[in-house]
Structure 1
Amino acid sequence: MPHLIILDASHNQLTDFFGFQPPKNLKEVNFSHNQMSVMKELSAYSTLTKLNLDYNSFSAIRGLEKCKRLSHLSLAHNNISRIRGLDHLPLRKLCLRGNVIQKTENLQTLCNLQFLDLSCNRIQSLSGLQNLHLLGNINLESNLIGEVKEAAYLHDLILLREMNLLRNPVQDQDDYRLAVIFLLQHIVLLDQHTVTAEEKVSAVNKYDPPLEVIAARDHMTHLVYHLMQPQVIFDSTLPSLDAPYPMLVLTGPQACGKRELAHKLCQEFSDYFAYGACHTTRGPYYGEEDGSDYHFVTEEEFQNMIQMGQFVQTMQYGGHWYGLSRETIERVAREGLACCVHMELEGVYSLKNSYFEPRYVLLIPTVVDNYVCFLKARGFYSNAQMETAVSRIDLYTKINRESPGFFDSVIPCDDRAEAYRTLKQLVKEYLGLEEHVGGSESSSITPDNTSTNATGELLPTNTTEATDLMDSYSRNYQNKIQAKMTPQQTPAEMTSNHIRQQLIREALSGKSPGAYAELFQRSAPTAPSSLPSQSQPLPGPSSSPMRPVGLSGPDPDEDSSSEESRASSGLSMRSSAGALSAESPARGSDAGSGHNIEPLDMSMLGQDRDSYRGHTDSGLTPDAPRSVSERVSPTLPSSPGRPGANVKPVLPPIPSGRKTNDSGSKQ
């Protein structure tokens, strides 16, 4: 039969291996389920492509060296103990299932191998499979693999898509599946179950989380622990309800000059900034002072602070913990200043998850050799630490390139003096402190937003330019928050949120009416019985240029639109202290009758502030009995229960640069 191509002699009792003259064109042979025990030389079968010798008694592989076209070989369920005799064969599929193989050896020359079945053997290690770069499917079911790290030998096999490790001891380990998926991130089928995208993300987040994930977890930890503590209104939230508390963050690689520039900046701009010292578990370097450069604490103290919710952000670098505590920020905020801190990139990611919106300035070395020389000159760092610091330069550069806007500004720090001049100019532009020179006299903007000439005389100046940056910062912050809220809200929800936010602003700024003030907004106030006779004329806008402080009576010159806005809001203009207020609503049948308000007893406006405080400090409550004049008087004190009502505002906007003095705080 010279033209025979396929020969199937399976399920017989053959004991002789190819005991006939081979046809020249024979390609596929099936001798499975017979009684053969020894393989003979097959050099004459040059055209053979598939050979099936399953369920026989072979103990060794031999005689296949001349089969240069053999692509499929199956020797399942024999007595083979070692893999050999397959060197440089063009095999694409190899099945050695059900033997007694203990090592994956002598397979590195099978460059075309795509499918490998080694199930039901005694294999403990996968160290011989790392060079099979075309391998796409491997079956290792029912072996003795006990360590997840063995999968690391397959890490570089980027075409590997399917893997079976069922019934191996390794499956008893915790998170075994996620660990294997992490080591083999190209795999799509593990243990006959599809690998989902969620599992791949979970594996990466568990064993090698990116900086964003680490920062998010730290922020979640701090937030949970903070909510477990008694809640208070922080000083850093009170100065402005439309813009976040101003902070300046200097970041960059290790020993790039962040701390030195931060200290120098806070010394020169002491009316605006104060240095915020972070906590750390590392020991102090030479020249560092506790409380001035860092707060040096033990590992146990640091963990206790985390559990007490005292940190805004934490990070790990070089085996040590670093953290910015909430009290550090509050201590600076109570002084009426902005907080200036420095931190590594991990700290920036963590702080970006908080409600703070700092300005981030990146200090980056551009000449690596000079940076390495500086690290060596300090003498604090080992070779490994210096290599890590140098490698992080590329990390900062990559983030700045791939994430525009991640840093607000980038400053080269090879020359520390030049870097500080650039930083100083940047801060001046941010604060609106640019010097203006004109003619023979020069004027500069002082911290209180007034101008002085060469003789020291105060000159009027337009504060709009000085506050443009702060206003734009506030608008950008509001737009960002609104952009986050808009897609998920209906117009009714947006209107409701706007009203609630307005009420919160008024409550925190001391402009909201007291709990009992709403009683006098339901109808026009009437004159008390102690008013003088109506024959005495009352001073009005037409008869007197002066108007009572703290009252917002109707102005006949105002247009109807402003009148309607006041009537719809139900709010009146109050004094700067929020102590005196009067309502003039038009409700019910009087809503369209113009300025129809009963005359007030002007004698009551003559009371001095001390007598007014006597009423508010007398312990009266909304439910306490009052006199007739007190019940009907539209002149009402603000709510005594507002947090911080008796404290002077301590943090004006940064462009003003005013630092709260001790006398003001006492008042």
Structure 2
Amino acid sequence: MEVKQITLHQRSLEIKQHSKKDGVLTAEMVSSCVSNLGRFNTGLQHSYHHLSLPRQNLSDISILCNYIYLQKLELPHNKIKDLSCVSHMPYLVILDISHNEISNFFGFQPPKNLKEVNFSHNRLTKLKDLSAYSSLTKLDLDYNCLSEIFGLEQCCQLTHLSLAHNKISRISGLEALPLTHLCLRGNQLERIEGLESLKSLQVLDLSMNCITSLSGLQNLHLLGSINLEKNLISEIQECKHIHDLFLLRELNLQGNPVQEQPGYRLAVVFLLQHLTVLDQMKVTVEEKVSSVNKYDPPLDVVAARDHMIHLVYQLMQPQVLYDSTLPSADSPYPMLVLTGPQGCGKRELAHRLCQEFSEYFAYGTCHTTRRPYFGEENGIDYHFVSEEDFQNMIHMGKFIQTMQHGGHRYGLTRDAVEDVAREGLACCVHMELEGVFSLKKSCFEPRYILLIPTKVEKYMDQLKSRDLYTQAQIDTAVSRIELYANTNRQRPGFFDNVIPSDDCEEAFQSLKQIVKEYLLLEEQDDGENNRASPDNTSVGHEPEEKLLSPLSRSTPHSAMALDPSHLSYRNYFTKIQAELSPQKSPAELASIARREQLVREAIVGKSPGVYSQLFKSSAQTAQVQNQEPGTRVSEDSSWDESRASSALSVPSSAGALSNLVEPLDISVLGQALETPKGQTTEDLPPGTDQMDLVASSPSDRRPGSNALPILPPIPTGRKTPAASSPAPSPRPSPNPAGGQGSVQTKMASTESEI
């Protein structure tokens, strides 16, 4: 029995080898290669559904006409030329006839369920109408000799089409197909066309062609992968055509001339922020951040870079100490900054404000590289310089802040602020938003007021009426309104006040009112009226009512200033401290302790608060210094003026809240200073008055300083001319504020080299 079985097996092998040599498929070969047994008809009969005969050197497969129940037929790597047998397979679903010698495209009757067909690596030269193959979903025609796409218009279920390595020179015949994957690799395409209607396309392979532009892909919003390897794309700007394809994750531009462009990878990553893979390499988070910082950096980043540049160049120069604007933890130099979109009137308002409050403000003149507009004067509106001179000033460390806007450079120099400070005035400047970000990086803590148009059409008409701007500049200025609005909305406390600038006169009146509140000028007038009433019961005034600080007026969450000894005061500022500044450095804690000590001393009448000393009238200071020994100081005028001037010196609202300090109302002190407890005026040495006690208070000294104490730098009003000053006393004045507020010690406000 065993011998008989061996003989049959050998006979079968001989038959197969003989059939291979002749290229004829036999029943024995079929029976040995079929698989996937299943039922058919009523379910009581069985048949094999899959047949796979790869690399069998077959050329005649006519025997398959009898296998009508086949569903999957795989005959790759043979020599088949005729596929007529497929016409007898009505249930066929998958047909793989790749790597054969087929020249007759779909030379068989259409099986009604045929879905996937692979005709790659054959000899097809022309397509035929496939409208009868309504179920076809996947068609592979790679490596043939096709020169035109034809006959696919009615394949309403075709999702995958591959025509790689043919001779196609133009994309056509794909209109309205539901394609999700399209491969046209290795053809002769020069343009991307005919794809506009493929709204479902997700994967596109156009590699190894002659394409020079990405135009034609901009409307394919479902694209997730594009392969353009080995084409002729040479410009990075071509990526703008696919900038709005937000689902695009993979892009391959290897082998294109564009890769030779400097900064190619970061530029493409910047233009296509949604990419995760570029040139078959993963796009990292660091690359995305670097690309944004290089090509469109946020205003914070630009400001930080500019600040580093100015600081480094400043340190490279011979050091000059500017006493008048020397920063202090307790009393920063007061500045007022007007900001807003181009042409909103901030420059005109700054000039009017300096004229209206000439005893408090002076205009800080910036430098710019643009040419003067009609009516502008050099040295008054701007210092107009060349680009070369501007760069030289940067390298000399002269600027506090710079910015670039509209293709021109603008900058505020340290000398411009110092020139105003030497006059005993606060500096008022105007700038764009970029300049505000830059200035916030410096040691200065100005008040920032935003002037913003609320009526866009009126704003555009104003810009057009000036006849200074092109339409593109007007459109840019209008678009920046939203930038200012978003900054104010997303960064609470960034601006101290916001004023609509639609009407210039109304804007100035609002600005004037805000400045009066900053300077406490109205409260000063109210205080004079209240002092005129003996019982101090004038309308709107209660004895226990305290004046509102400028910070509380400019902050929407403001309330009446509370007595520092009251429990509500402590609870309120403890809450702010927990929200805004949960952790403080030792230097900040030491500064807070010093300020609290000054407040306690001021309340009991030992010395005036530090903020009340920031703005002192120079005339009053000189008068104190030159008084005869034993005379008493006038108690009304000097303190009122110091009250009126202390408000502007308060840091911006965010900084003031973080330091938990409000300007101290001098009205809490009473009408006159009291001598320290246990000591009377008679006990003081001859020639010593109460102002001398204040000046010699050790709490006013800087930490670690052995020199004479220095009061906060800038007085309120202009210096009194020398002719109107009292005759100087032969006694040297111990007042440390004289270096900035008096005529005698004028040298203290000059620049001293280190």
TM-score by length of structure 1 reads 0.70
Verify the 8 A CA contact 1:218 1:314 in the aligned structure 2: yes
Verify the 8 A CA contact 2:336 2:447 in the aligned structure 1: yes
| 1:248 to 2:336 alignment | yes
Task: State the match for 1:358 in structure 2.
Answer: 446
- The equivalent position to 1:100 in structure 2, one of 188, 192, 210, is 188
Moved more, 163-172 or 365-374: 365-374
Task: State the match for 1:443 in structure 2.
Answer: 528
- The equivalent position to 1:494 in structure 2, one of 570, 575, 586, is 586
| 1:57 to 2:138 alignment | no
What pairs with 1:59-74 in structure 2 (closer than 5 Å)? 59-74=147-162
| 1:163 to 2:255 alignment | no
- The equivalent position to 2:238 in structure 1, one of 126, 144, 150, is 150
Task: State the match for 1:307 in structure 2.
Answer: 395
Verify the 8 A CA contact 1:80 1:100 in the aligned structure 2: yes
Task: State the match for 2:111 in structure 1.
Answer: 23
Task: State the match for 2:559 in structure 1.
Answer: none
Distance 1:238 1:495, change over 3 A: closer
- The equivalent position to 1:665 in structure 2, one of 710, 725, 746, is 746
Aligned residue type for 1:154:
I
Aligned residue type for 1:352:
K
- What does the per-residue CA deviation read over 1:436-479, in whole Å, with 9 as the maximum and x for residues that have no partner? 677xxx8269xxxxx7899xxxxxxx9x9679447999x99999
Task: State the match for 1:386 in structure 2.
Answer: 474
Q: CA deviation at 1:284?
A: 2.5
Q: CA deviation at 1:663?
A: 3.9
Alpha-carbon distance in structure 1 between the residues aligned to 2:183 and 2:464: 58
- The equivalent position to 2:415 in structure 1, one of 327, 346, 367, is 327
Aligned residue type for 2:302:
I
- Greater gyration radius: 2
Task: State the match for 1:546 in structure 2.
Answer: 683
Match of 2:521, SS? coil
What pairs with 1:208-357 in structure 2 (closer than 5 Å)? 208-238=296-326, 240-357=328-445
Verify the 8 A CA contact 2:368 2:382 in the aligned structure 1: yes
Q: CA deviation at 1:646?
A: 11
Q: CA deviation at 1:38?
A: 2.7
Distance 1:177 1:150, change over 3 A: same
Distance 1:240 1:6, change over 3 A: closer
Verify the 8 A CA contact 1:470 1:655 in the aligned structure 2: no
Alpha-carbon distance in structure 2 between the residues aligned to 1:142 and 1:444: 86
Alpha-carbon distance in structure 1 between the residues aligned to 2:581 and 2:319: 25
Q: CA deviation at 1:547?
A: 5.2
Verify the 8 A CA contact 2:206 2:228 in the aligned structure 1: yes
Alpha-carbon distance in structure 1 between the residues aligned to 2:548 and 2:124: 94
What pairs with 1:124-135 in structure 2 (closer than 5 Å)? 124-135=212-223
Distance 1:258 1:43, change over 3 A: closer
Task: State the match for 2:25 in structure 1.
Answer: none
- The equivalent position to 2:178 in structure 1, one of 87, 90, 103, is 90
What pairs with 1:500-579 in structure 2 (closer than 5 Å)? 546=683
- What does the per-residue CA deviation read over 1:305-360, in whole Å, with 9 as the maximum and x for residues that have no partner? 11111111111222222111111111222233211111122211211222211111
- What does the per-residue CA deviation read over 1:282-321, in whole Å, with 9 as the maximum and x for residues that have no partner? 2333333322222222222111111111111111222222
Alpha-carbon distance in structure 1 between the residues aligned to 2:354 and 2:390: 26
Verify the 8 A CA contact 1:431 1:655 in the aligned structure 2: no
Distance 1:337 1:380, change over 3 A: same
Alpha-carbon distance in structure 2 between the residues aligned to 1:437 and 1:662: 28
Q: CA deviation at 1:279?
A: 1.1
Q: CA deviation at 1:545?
A: 6.1
Q: CA deviation at 1:653?
A: 7.6
Aligned residue type for 2:168:
I
Aligned residue type for 2:433:
L
Moved more, 138-147 or 196-205: 196-205
Task: State the match for 1:122 in structure 2.
Answer: 210
| 1:421 to 2:558 alignment | no
Aligned residue type for 1:7:
L
Verify the 8 A CA contact 2:423 2:719 in the aligned structure 1: no
Aligned residue type for 1:177:
R
Verify the 8 A CA contact 2:337 2:429 in the aligned structure 1: yes
Q: CA deviation at 1:253?
A: 2.3
TM-score by length of structure 2 reads 0.62
Alpha-carbon distance in structure 2 between the residues aligned to 1:63 and 1:82: 15
Aligned residue type for 2:528:
S
Alpha-carbon distance in structure 2 between the residues aligned to 1:364 and 1:50: 59
Alpha-carbon distance in structure 2 between the residues aligned to 1:100 and 1:108: 20
Q: CA deviation at 1:150?
A: 1.5
Match of 2:511, SS? helix
Verify the 8 A CA contact 2:424 2:718 in the aligned structure 1: no
Aligned residue type for 1:443:
E
Unmatched 5+ residue regions in structure 1?
446-450, 455-461, 503-508, 510-540, 552-573, 582-637
Task: State the match for 1:186 in structure 2.
Answer: 274
Q: CA deviation at 1:245?
A: 1.6
Task: State the match for 1:412 in structure 2.
Answer: 500
Task: State the match for 2:291 in structure 1.
Answer: 203
Distance 1:543 1:465, change over 3 A: closer
Task: State the match for 2:635 in structure 1.
Answer: none
Alpha-carbon distance in structure 1 between the residues aligned to 2:419 and 2:163: 77
Aligned residue type for 1:141:
E
Distance 1:114 1:544, change over 3 A: closer
- The equivalent position to 1:76 in structure 2, one of 164, 168, 182, is 164
Verify the 8 A CA contact 2:450 2:499 in the aligned structure 1: yes
Distance 1:84 1:426, change over 3 A: same
Alpha-carbon distance in structure 1 between the residues aligned to 2:319 and 2:408: 30
Match of 1:662, SS? coil
Distance 1:369 1:64, change over 3 A: closer
Alpha-carbon distance in structure 1 between the residues aligned to 2:236 and 2:405: 28
Alpha-carbon distance in structure 1 between the residues aligned to 2:261 and 2:194: 30
Task: State the match for 1:651 in structure 2.
Answer: 714
Match of 1:204, SS? helix
Unmatched 5+ residue regions in structure 2?
1-88, 535-542, 555-563, 565-571, 595-609, 611-677, 721-736, 749-754
Distance 1:428 1:142, change over 3 A: same
Over the aligned positions, Cα root-mean-square deviation in angstroms equals: 4.3
Q: CA deviation at 1:216?
A: 2.4
Aligned residue type for 2:714:
L
Verify the 8 A CA contact 1:215 1:346 in the aligned structure 2: yes
Alpha-carbon distance in structure 2 between the residues aligned to 1:80 and 1:355: 67
